[in-house]
A and B are shown apart, each in its own frame.
Chain A
Amino acid sequence: MNDESLNIEDLLGNDSFISWVLRDEDALLWEAILRSDPGKKELVEKASKIVLALHRAEEEVVPLMDQQKLWARIESTAESREELPIHVKQERKMFKLLLIAAGVALIGTLGVFQIMRNDGKRVTYKELLTHAKVENQLIEKQNQGNAAMELRLEDGTIITLGKNSKLSYPAHFQKQKREVFLSGEAFFNVTKDPSRPFLVYANETVTKVLGTSFEIRAFENSQDVTVHVRTGRVSVYRQSRIQTDDPETTGLVLLPNQKGTFNRDSEVLVKNLVEEPLPIAPIAETKKTRFDEVPATEVFAEIEKIYGVQILCDHELLSKCIISTSIRNESLYDNLDVICRTIGGTYKEIDAQIVIDSKGCY
């Protein structure tokens, strides 16, 4: 390092110099310095160009973020929190826990199914409640406001209730299960309790939680009931009027980025991907997101891992497609668009899986 570079670095280490270049503060001081020692002029110019070059470079990397949308989110949380100024800190930690309820039999809910033995095809929220009330004192919360409403149950589960939605739950859960009744939409973050499965009754469906967080949309007057899974595993099934051995066996198990839709007319339950599948875990963790000259199949394998979504393709054909790309931390479809453009192929979603169609590369 020669003297000159040392001087520049000294300037870069001078707070007043940085303030002058970036914010035009302390200008008098620096103009005076330059006047008294014109020999420093070039050095000062060089240093300030470096500051500006780095400033511009950093300015370019600021990620695009929808500031309005984020504000709307902050505002709505801030307003809903005001009604419930309770220990938010602990709650946040609690719902991170995994609920491992797999294998816990559905004993005890049979009673609820019996009420489905009426003639009407559709099951209403009211009907669900009449039955449930027999054994339990229920609390009902209704959200008529514009902002989402946050509820905390005795087991620590947090439920964010959407507009025009209501939820009933017992003041105290039973020993062997936790049952709630929903009309409308809600996001659930369920606290771990392997000995007591968490069941959400909504219209004709039952959602049993094997994992942590999911969203249900089940309005009384709408055609469908949908369940979106954010994390963990969830099983969804119909409430059957005729009691079979285990209604769960005819249901669906949903994984992250999958959505179950129950059509109330056709009474069919189908599985799809959610509209915008997002990485299950932040990409930073998985690390390998840049690919140089690798077979396309290798990239697809990584995408499968990141989004937890199965990708079907002709391995033999696509292993000849050598591509360089990087997987970005955004929607699955954006990433697939880029890769398919590279290999001249298309993709479609079939039964919650992605099928790649390509003629291969030569």
Chain B
Amino acid sequence: MSTFTRAESDLSGELLIWHRFRQGDMQAFQSLYQRHVRSLTSYGHRLTPDRQLLEDAIHDLFIDLWRRKEHLNDADNIRFYLFRALRNRLSRNGRNNIFEQAEDIDGFLDYLVALSSEQQHIDSEGAEVRTQRVRQAVESLSDRQKEVINLRFYHGMSLDEISELMGLSKQGVSNLLYKAYAVLRTRLGELTIISLLVPMGEMHAWMV
């Protein structure tokens, strides 16, 4: 059922690294970076499409961490800590509109237009093509919907964590997810497993 496995000792290893990092151990700092840079890149990409800006933000984030290492507390959830720091950093920058409350209606209209033509190519898609299509469908979501999908399904974050990170109520997070599902469902039509409404029989054709 699992797509990736985690070493049992992972969590305690992480705390040890954090501890050593706070004492100024450069090697520990590096392993902290190596453990989290991919996650941060993935999440950060949902916060800004600008690669350079993201790279700078991650750079600044780690420098800030290093500079303040003596003053940092014990962190029981280091990844969450880093995600929040990255989000704050990119929101201060103010160059992207993800932090605006309004949902992006343009994206929604775009996909409606694209929809009819796309439904014609639904036959015999390979797994790769299917992933590709899901990816495109996710791209059509609003920025905040993309962010919530990324946190939930890529990083496997709990609703509580997402709500704290995005500064929304738990209900707000659920609403955002439901909106995203609705868009994905319409967008993908009967094409993939995401189409939640497709009856069982038809489902199998797409699942295997």
Measured CB to CB, the residues of A under 8 A from B are 1-2, 4-5, 8-9, 12-13, 15, 18-24, 27, 42, 45-46, 48-63, 65, 67, 70-71, 73-75, 77-78, 81, 85, 88, 278, 282-285, 329-330
Contact = CB atoms under 8 A, between A and B. Distances in A.
B114 to A, nearest CB: 11
A284 B134 contact: no
A56 B5 CA distance: 15
A63 B192 contact: no
Given A55-B3, A61-B139, A77-B63, 20 more contacts: A18-B153, A20-B1, A22-B2, A23-B2, A24-B6, A50-B193, A50-B196, A53-B131, A54-B138, A56-B131, A57-B131, A57-B135, A57-B137, A58-B138, A62-B38, A70-B58, A71-B34, A78-B67, A329-B49, A329-B50
A283 B49 contact: yes
Most chain A beta-carbon neighbours within 10 Å: one of B30, B67, B156, B160: B156
A78 B63 CA distance: 6
A81 B67 contact: yes
Interface stretch (B73-81, B117-125, B173-181): B173-181
A24 B42 CA distance: 21
A51 B196 CA distance: 12
B207 interface: yes
A13 B177 contact: yes
Interface in B55-71: 55, 58-59, 62-63, 66-67
Contacts of A65: 37, 41, 51, 54-55
B33 interface: yes
Contacts of B149: 54, 58
B110 to A, nearest CB: 10
A285 B95 CA distance: 7
B37 to A, nearest CB: 5
Given A5-B197, A54-B194, A78 B62 contact: yes
B1 to A, nearest CB: 6
A284 B63 contact: no
Contacts of B6: 23-24
A23 B156 contact: yes
B145 to A, nearest CB: 12
Cβ-closest 8 pairs across A and B: A24-B2, A58-B154, A282-B50, A54-B153, A57-B134, A22-B156, A57-B135, A15-B158
A153 to B, nearest CB: 21
